[in-house]
Every structure is written in C-alpha cells, then in structure tokens.
A and B are shown apart, each in its own frame.
Chain A
C-alpha cells in the first residue's frame, strides 16, 4: 500500500516536471503582428510611431495607393476649387498663390500659428477662411464641409513626406503650454486624460481597437468609421465624448492649443496627409 502511494506521487511529480520543462509557445498578439510588418520602419522615429503602424495591413494598403485612398476625391475637388474664381474680388486661390505644389510646400508645419490680430493661435482652417473672406470676398467654408476638408487635405498634402516640425517658441509658447496642460488633464465621467490612453496605454487594446500614440501627422484623415475625411478637431470631439466629457467646438482655443502641442509631439514623424485610419 505504501509503495502504491509512493508510486503515484512519483508519477505526479514526474508529470509536473515534464509539463514545466515543455516550452510554452506564445502566439504573437495582434499588436505584435502589426508591429512586425517591415513596411512600418519608415513610420517610426525613435520612440515615436505614426498611427499607420497600428492599422491592419489592408488599411495601410489603402493609404499607400493614392487611387485606392478615397480622401483623394476630396483632394481632387479642392484642386478644382483652387483655380476657381469666387467672390466679389474676382479672384481664385491661384490668382495670388499660383501653383499649389510650390506655394503650399511646407505649410503644414506653419499652422496652428500665433495670430497678432486676435492674439491667440489660429488653425489652418481659420487662415483659409480669412483668405476667402478678406482677399477673395467669398463666403467662408464650414470646418467639416467637403470644400474645407478637401482644401486642408490639399494644402497639407504638399508637405507629405516632410518631417513634422512646428514652431513652439516665441509668442506661441504660452499657448503650447496650455495645450500640453490640456493633454495631461483628466476630464469627463471616466476621469481620463489624453495621456492615459496615448502615453500609458499606446499599443494596448481597447476592445478591438489598438490604441495608437495619438499622433496627428495624417490629418485630415479618411476614417473608415466616418467613411469620409475628418479634421483633427472632429477627432478631439470624439475622444472627449468617449470619456464622457463635454467636447469643445471646432476651432476653439482649447482644441487649437491642443493641436499645436500634438504637432510638436509628432515632431520627426513624416506628414502623411491624407492618411487612412480606422
């Protein structure tokens, strides 16, 4: 009897040893699979990774081919608008700026910028409308209209491939600091700050979404969810609503300051406008 107990214990111990020595092969997580794609190397600079890296390969395929990227139908529309005479002054964008490729090169890095007239930061959309109303005598465009989305995409497209490099010194500095404060401030019923997801949890999953670092180098982006392009301020509204915080308005000081901070945060990554995201 004693021997039988001893025999069983030895067998169990032996089994335990075998099991513990067997290597456990862990399957790559979804995030790891995406990160392992060699295409992503060009979209990562040091610790920074573009939202491109967090998308599935099919979504990246859509961005890599301008014909397959639906945002370009909005860009095409803006190209037509660029040469169209509108407003009381009888001018078009081309009348003053001529070629969009030459005139708008690098402009993505110039906005938001400090505006001495209003004594605060202004985003690209505000500048576009100023040119339309003051110089062309034309009607301003709504922030999320097809025309404005197209034009913002067309203008920023001319910086595609260039590194994000925005000025945060001089008169822009206090606004940059406010943007940074906003980013780190908890808000809403969920009491979360932007940093809680995009710094603390970048690369982790929020249900089936992979949380990105929240880099804005691709805006306006064609978002699969929206099935149309959208501005970065629209995305901020979505993010704020997700944590059950009252969102601010497009073009608000809060969002414009935040936009500047986020552009600085993306420094070094290349502009990808118009990117394709989930």
Chain B
C-alpha cells in the first residue's frame, strides 16, 4: 500500500500544469501532502521560543518529567503529562510550564501558569504531532531558574486510514 492511498494528490491535466509540478515550491502546493517548508519549526526555533518564554537561555536538567508514548497511536491526539518535583509552597513553586515542538508547523504548543495553591506541579493534555520529533517541556520556578526535559515521539503513517 503506497502513501498515495491516504492522501489526495491532484495531478495536473495539461502540460503547463505538468511543468508547474516540477517548478520550485509548486510541488508542495499542488500535492495535498504536507511537505516540510521554511515555515515549519526546527530544533533552533523551538529553542529560541523556549528562551523567549522562560526569559533565559540557561537551564538545568532534572525535576521535570515529560511523559509521552514512544509511538503515537495517531499524531492528531497524543496524550502527555508534565510533572515537576516541587513542594509548591509560597517560597518554592513552579510558575510556568512551557511546551514546544521541534518539527510541527509551529513551535508553540501551550503554556501553563500555576500558583502555589496548585499543590502539585503536574499538568496533562493532548497535542498534535505532525511527524516524529522531540517535544520540549520546561518548568520556570518562582526564583527564575529553569529546568528542561525532552522526549522523542514516533509518529508514523498507518496502513489502514490511520
């Protein structure tokens, strides 16, 4: 079964159209397949986004656990849980949890603003993944320190409409 079963590819009928097909950039436009373009996120743009959101380029590892499946059942809905080791008191709490994608059309995913009354620094949600990639999670503490975790999720094309 080839990839064309799932995706709708419009073949140009006339010669001009056929020439267009081989033109730069036009290939992506005429095909219904999502092709990697300049606009997609990259590990660099994801890193820059995280720096912008957390206010610093320096981070430590540890404290943050990003739980995601190894293989996504379907890229449209991938569950995730971010847990941060923190007592969540007025003096020591997680202020923000940011998520970023390294290969989606956009690097932004979600940002969560917690308070000491959260009691437990853990959030769960579901995200879309356009292809196999790393997902980055950072926790910004009330003292400004940042902790980071990353996880690779495999996203593949299913064989029967999946």
Name A's B-contacting residues (CB within 8 A).
Answer: 30, 55-59, 61-62, 190, 197, 205-209, 211, 224-225, 227, 238-239, 241-242, 244, 278
Kindly supply a per-residue 1/0 record for chain B positions 62-102, scoring 1 wherever the CB is within 8 Å of any chain A CB and 0 otherwise: 00000001010110111100000000000000000000000
Inter-chain CA distance A227–B1, complex, in Å, is 24
**Please, how many residues of chain B have a CB less than 8 angstroms from a CB on the other chain?**
17
Take A225-B74, A278-B73 as given contacts and tell me if A62 and B79 are in contact as well, using a CB distance cutoff of 8 Å: yes
Take A58-B73, A224-B74 as given contacts and tell me if A208 and B161 are in contact as well, using a CB distance cutoff of 8 Å: no
Contact present for A242 and B69 (CB under 8 Å): no
- Could you list 20 examples of A-B contacts with CB < 8 Å? A30-B71, A56-B71, A56-B73, A58-B78, A58-B79, A59-B73, A190-B1, A197-B160, A206-B1, A206-B160, A207-B159, A208-B158, A209-B159, A211-B159, A225-B161, A239-B161, A241-B161, A242-B1, A242-B161, A278-B74
Inter-chain CA distance A57–B5, complex, in Å, is 28
What chain A residues lie within 8 Å of B77 (beta carbons)?
A: 224, 227
Contact present for B156 and A207 (CB under 8 Å): yes
Take A30-B71, A56-B71 as given contacts and tell me if A208 and B160 are in contact as well, using a CB distance cutoff of 8 Å: no
The contact of B162 among A57, A58, A278, by CB within 8 Å, is A278
Instruction: Give A105 Cβ to nearest chain B Cβ, in Å.
Output: 31
The contact of A56 among B69, B158, B159, by CB within 8 Å, is B69
What chain A residues lie within 8 Å of B69 (beta carbons)?
A: 56-58
Instruction: Give A276 Cβ to nearest chain B Cβ, in Å.
Output: 9
What chain A residues lie within 8 Å of B74 (beta carbons)?
A: 224-225, 278
Inter-chain CA distance A278–B77, complex, in Å, is 9
Contact present for A242 and B157 (CB under 8 Å): no
Contact present for B156 and A208 (CB under 8 Å): yes
CB nearest neighbor in A for B158: A209
CB nearest neighbor in A for B128: A227
CB nearest neighbor in A for B155: A208
Contact present for A207 and B76 (CB under 8 Å): no
Contact present for B71 and A225 (CB under 8 Å): no
Contact present for A207 and B1 (CB under 8 Å): yes
Inter-chain CA distance A56–B78, complex, in Å, is 11
Contact present for A208 and B76 (CB under 8 Å): no
Q: Which of A206, A211, A244 has the most CB of B within 10 A?
A: A206
What chain B residues lie within 8 Å of A208 (beta carbons)?
A: 71, 156-159, 162
Inter-chain CA distance A227–B76, complex, in Å, is 7
Given contacts A55-B73, A211-B159, A244-B5, 20 further A-B contacts (CB under 8 A): A30-B71, A58-B79, A205-B159, A206-B160, A207-B159, A208-B71, A208-B156, A208-B158, A208-B159, A209-B160, A211-B160, A224-B76, A225-B74, A225-B161, A242-B5, A242-B160, A242-B161, A278-B73, A278-B158, A278-B162
Q: Which of A61, A211, A224 has the most CB of B within 10 A?
A: A224
Instruction: Give A61 Cβ to nearest chain B Cβ, in Å.
Output: 7
Instruction: Give B157 Cβ to nearest chain A Cβ, in Å.
Output: 6
Inter-chain CA distance A59–B69, complex, in Å, is 10
